[in-house]
Amino acid sequence: MATNHGSPVVESESHPEPTPQDESHSAATGNEWQSVTFSVPWVVRGADTGQDAINIAVSEVGKRISAASDRTRNRNIEVQSLGCNDCNSRTEALLLVSKTALVGLFVTLDVQAKSAEEAERRARREIGPHLEDTPLTSVDVSRE
């Protein structure tokens, strides 16, 4: 785990987007902005260090989801962390073997929807095609 003066360094990339529709339209349709978070595994090849793998994963996923339509906003990527119950420590969700890494990421984006289920479907439909053959596991849906 990379540290900076004893505290973990968390790589994150945020893509704030302007609201595509004005507030009166969302109120008229009954849609509310909902935040959807997916757990995303990302494979990185050719990484020399764990930090390199994290930087590459965040960059690659960021480029792909920035191509999502304007029906989303506030796209954010964070590295997942894993906790140890025995020693109360946390580490980044990263496995690096022979310059090939698996990095666990959280991808969060806001979509307009009437319910949590609809928000998850819309978010999956928006970023799924840009993360081809990558499982998207929903871990949280909440109102903005």
Per the structure, how many domains does the chain have? Answer: 1
The per-residue pLDDT for range 16-26, each reduced to its tens digit, is 544 444 444 44
- 22 within domain boundaries: no
Decide if pLDDT at 5 tops 50.
Answer: no
Q: What is the mean pLDDT of residues 45-50?
A: 97
Predicted local confidence at residue 26, as pLDDT: 46
- 76 within domain boundaries: yes
To the nearest 10°, report the CA torsion of 123, 110, 74, 49. Answer: -50
What pTM, to 2 d.p., does this model score? Answer: 0.77
Tell me the residue range of the domain where 112 lies: 3-17+31-143
Decide if pLDDT at 108 tops 50.
Answer: yes
Decide if pLDDT at 6 tops 60.
Answer: no
Partnered with residue 110 across adjacent β-strands are: 35, 73
Distance separating alpha carbons of residues 62 and 82, to the nearest angstrom: 22
- 25 within domain boundaries: no
